Amino acid sequence: MNRFYFILGVFLCFACVKGTKAQNMNSPIFKRIQNWTFPLDKEALENGEVVGYIEFLDKNYESFENHNDDSKDFLEHVKALDTESDFDKKDEDYYILGTKVVYLVDAPIDYFNKDRLTNLDYFQSTMPGYKLQDLNNNTFAIQGGVMEPDFKFKVAYVDVENDLERKGNDLKNVFRTYKRDQIMPSSFTWQENFDYGRVMFHKTSEMSKVLTVYYPYEGNRTLVECYTLNYLYNVPPALMGGPSMLIDDLKSGILSYVQSCRKIANQAI
């Protein structure tokens, strides 16, 4: 169950770093922020921390953690990620899980290139516990487990300077909505997760959207910022820890994934 909710929220959102410029770079800390529009916390980032926002709404669109004022703003902040208006076309009400995560990586911006970020071998190396399949045209399938659904995902890589203007309006709108104004990103990936299978005959997720933006940063490093939106049919029952368990697992999963990817980058650079 832990891995399912981790993958659901942050699958393939994170890439990695070489070296250890800060004590926490190999064993990062998750610094949770309660405001979607948080500014860059340079001190935390320089110390290797992963800084992020997590919001989880029930089917009445109220926060499970009583961030009611924030949750109202949250729906406005994430709606641009719903490029196909799945929310309006829903066949039933969803739980809504969203994240915004930023971290600094000790790797040059060209490490995050199209060949790597759309490559089956790279995906597989970051998740050795899963079986992935290349379905062509940057579309992949992932095989879940006993308590984890199968699903498919499609990834688009966009070089901002050379490719953006040739992309569709939906993709350009997503990028322009979420990019930071202070610095110009070099590239971004747009990922759509779909065709989620059932677990124990229960529906799991309607869809998940992931935007990851890559910014060149001083010291030949890269700032990575990732946004996710997930529509869920079910959450863990109270006996298993309920929504709080999901959020705790999500934070742990983010940190584990970042740490794993850093090791891969360290070998590659």
Token pair of 139 as six digits: 């579309």
Residue 210: the pLDDT is 95
Using one digit for the tens of pLDDT, what is the confidence trace for 68-121? 676 678 888 999 999 988 888 777 889 999 999 999 888 999 999 999 999 999
Q: Which of 263, 226, 262 is nearest to 9 (CA)?
A: 226
CATH architecture type of domain 2-268: 2-Layer Sandwich (3.30)
Residue 182: the pLDDT is 83
**Residue ranges of the chain with per-residue pLDDT less than 70:** 1-26, 68, 70-71, 146-147
Q: Which of 64, 87, 71 is nearest to 238 (CA)?
A: 64
DSSP track, 173-189: HHHHHHS-SSS--SEEE
CB 190 within 8 Å of CB 224: no
Q: How far is Cα of residue 157 from the mean position of the Cα atoms in its chain?
A: 15
Residue 47: the pLDDT is 93
